[in-house]
A and B are shown apart, each in its own frame.
Chain A
Amino acid sequence: MTTDAISPFISEPWTDPSNKPFIRIRGISRHYGAVKAVDNVDLDIYKGELFCLLGGSGSGKTTLLRMLCGFENPTAGSIEIDGQDMAHVPPFKRPVNMMFQSYALFPHMSVAKNVGYGLARDGMPKAQIDNRVEELLAMVQMEGFGVRRPNQLSGGQRQRVALARALAKKPKLLLLDEPLGALDKKLREETQFELMKLQEDLGVTFVVVTHDQEEAMTLASRIAVMADGKLAQVSTPRDVYEYPNSRFVADFIGGVNLFEGRVTADEENHMKLQSSEAGLEIHVGHGVSCSPGQRMWYALRPEKIRIARDRPDQPFNVVEGMVEEVAYMGSLSVYRINLDSGKQIKVTQPNLERAQDNPIRWDQRVFVSWDSSAGVVLPS
């Protein structure tokens, strides 16, 4: 089996510099007066990716998406889709379809007419449209709903119709604006996996805008974290979580404990960070490019910390603290611990057993420890 036969999903096309990106975004900006909604963004997205633009409101993710489908004109920069420059190409001529956040189904048309709208615009004969619409409705498990009006459907059904409509013209690129935002939690989880399966089956490139980091983590082949119109980090979900490149990203994706410190030892295979905030010298088990005395931050995920009543047998990364609060969440328990330095940290521990004798409770003194490879050192 050659590498070509492996789906682009597994082969990670962005790691191979000889691969030609499907979408090339270069220096794109969108300014509204003094507001820089999108500011000088470079981004490559490859064929078959399920790419997530993740960010809070006002981060510029939706503006970037709208520039891809042509509803917003860039102030500067260029967008190339499948080798074609998109400047001056109006939305109705782009090889792109979009699923709108509000679904934007035509309320005066039946479901079948909605799904077939794009095909009718292309001048496809009616019999052919009917067949294709049937096929699409079957694909999203909406057989027999063709005669209904959109307002006779539930939120989840509307979402499916919107998806079928956006896929009707077999676009090479599908843009999805908060595709699951209007669904309740349970339906959202189900639909996430259906969406992924559909994307894999069809081989269409998906670009998804979302503010929900969990959704981005589940769906995406890669995530672009956006803040203030710029890309904060572009990586796989695992890398964004385990190797954030800034305090912003570390804090935005999942929970994190951040300690400020100064570099006291900078060796090739380890470094040390004196942190008065944590009340100890943090031992980091890998080299970091830095200079002695430099101010840096140590990001430590809550689930990578251990707590115990007895001092653990390890020479470094052990501090003492007092349990402030314990929250039982079912699959795990969340502890808020006040370190003796005064800093409050968050620790999560999986509930491995159903009954625990003598569990750790609030107002108990505990030892907090972590491995030298548990955290990430951040320069900013």
Chain B
Amino acid sequence: MVIAIPMIWLLVFFLIPFAVVFKLSLSEAAIARPPYLPIMTWDEEGILSFILNIGNYFYLLEDDLYIYAYMQSMKIALVSTLICLLVAYPMALAIARAKAGSRNLLLMLVILPFWTSFLLRVYAWIGILKTNGLLNNALLWLGLIDQPLAIMQTDLAVYIGIVYTYLPFMILPLYTSLVKQDAALLEAAADLGARPATAFFSVTLPLSFPGIAAGSLLVFIPVVGEFVIPALLGGPDTLMIGKVLWSEFFSNRDWPVASAVATVMLVVLVVPIMLLRLAQQADEVQS
């Protein structure tokens, strides 16, 4: 019973929509409403025939725009995940090592941005990063630069937006795994002659691997499909798969190809997740 409810949830809100998308990806585009042909038809003699069109998938291979967009999305997701990890780790560590009383306040500060609309926060970054925006004006006023930096509509702006948006998703799992580490372990390491840096790399870091894995997945997966941030902060050459999907769906009205793009993205993301799960299970069995 307890298991049944999440199962039903997954079935209704995940598996069925995915089945619909998958079915769409196998149909043929048409100028019609809806803009695709059914895959299941009754012909005049009353015989049921299926027309499965896997051409949409081959189409993705033919045009290197798609492969390029996938690679680009992966690259941006990977780099952003790494930056998030590097920025979030010291923050999570500091919160975990703070006095018990101030931890909740610090965590609140991490979560606080969620109280504002995500879209609003991304628009705010435009205000900061644009040519005559806050950042450039501040740097000019300080005399650090002679002319405004072109940050908006570059990959840099996309990275800034993504790291800013997804940082809490990295901090929280890291914090959870760091805060439950027994402080006596570090004392034991110091007692046995480990300097603070050695103790960190031999005790704290390896023990936080589950947190690193969880945080990285929480950042990497949604960033691969991210659409809003590259659309608002990125330039025309920032090609991410989310943007491609959007334009296939809304501009080209090619629902089957858009569905194929989405299906491939899902497969690309599911494979590393499954591998990670297997690795974790193997580790649990071992320990």
Contact = CB atoms under 8 A, between A and B. Distances in A.
A107 B207 contact: yes
A226 interface: no
Contacts of A165: 188, 192
Nearest to B195: A92
Interface stretch (B18-26, B33-41, B179-187): B179-187
Contacts of B149: none
A70 B190 CA distance: 10
B190 A92 contact: yes
Contacts of A101: 184
Interface string B195-225: 1001000110011000000000000000000
A108 interface: yes
A168 B188 CA distance: 13
Given A100-B184, A100-B188, A106-B185, A169 B193 contact: yes
B191 interface: yes
A108 B192 contact: no
Given A104-B185, A106-B203, A149-B287, A97 B191 contact: yes
Nearest to B184: A104
Given A149-B287, A151-B287, A91 B191 contact: yes
Interface string A166-196: 1011000000000000000000000000000
B30 interface: no
A152 B285 CA distance: 12
Contacts of B203: 106
Given A91-B190, A117-B192, A108 B182 contact: no
Given A108-B206, A149-B287, A151-B287, A102 B189 contact: no
A268 interface: no
B238 to A, nearest CB: 40
Residue among B193, B195, B207 with the highest chain A CB neighbour number at 10 A: B193
A118 B192 contact: yes
Contacts of A70: 190
Q: Which of B190, B203, B206 has the most CB of A within 10 A?
A: B190
A119 to B, nearest CB: 9
B193 A104 contact: no
B182 A104 contact: yes
B194 interface: yes
Interface in A88-131: 90-93, 96-98, 100-102, 104-108, 117-118, 121-122
B207 A98 contact: no
Interface in A47-85: 69-71
A92 B193 contact: yes
B193 A106 contact: no
Contacts of A166: 191
A98 B184 CA distance: 11
A106 B188 contact: yes
A98 B191 contact: yes
A92 B194 contact: yes
A317 B229 CA distance: 93
Interface string A198-219: 0000000000000000000000
Contacts of A104: 182, 184-185, 187-188
A152 B189 CA distance: 21
Interface string A130-146: 00000000000000000
A176 B123 CA distance: 59
A100 B190 CA distance: 12
Contacts of B193: 92-93, 118, 121-122, 169
Nearest to B194: A121
A101 B185 CA distance: 11
B191 A92 contact: yes
Contacts of B182: 102, 104
Contacts of B286: 149
A108 B185 CA distance: 11
A152 B192 CA distance: 23
A97 B194 CA distance: 12
A121 B198 contact: yes
B287 A117 contact: no
Nearest to B188: A104
A123 to B, nearest CB: 10
Interface string B146-183: 00000000000000000000000000000000000010
Nearest to A102: B184
A117 B287 CA distance: 19
Contacts of A69: 191
Contacts of A71: 187, 190
A74 to B, nearest CB: 17
B184 A108 contact: no
B206 A97 contact: no
Nearest to B207: A108
A107 B208 CA distance: 12
Contacts of B207: 107-108
A91 B185 contact: no
A96 B198 CA distance: 19
Interface in A295-351: none
B287 to A, nearest CB: 5
Contacts of A102: 182, 184
B9 to A, nearest CB: 33
A224 B13 CA distance: 67
A169 B192 contact: yes
Contacts of A108: 206-207
Nearest to A149: B287
Nearest to B283: A108
A379 to B, nearest CB: 41
10 contacts: A71-B187, A97-B192, A100-B187, A102-B184, A106-B188, A107-B207, A108-B206, A117-B194, A149-B287, A169-B192
Given A71-B187, A92-B195, A117-B202, 12 more contacts: A71-B190, A92-B191, A93-B193, A102-B182, A104-B185, A106-B189, A108-B207, A117-B192, A122-B193, A149-B287, A151-B287, A169-B192
Which 7 A-B pairs give the minimum distances between C-beta atoms? A118-B192, A104-B188, A104-B184, A121-B193, A91-B190, A92-B190, A98-B191
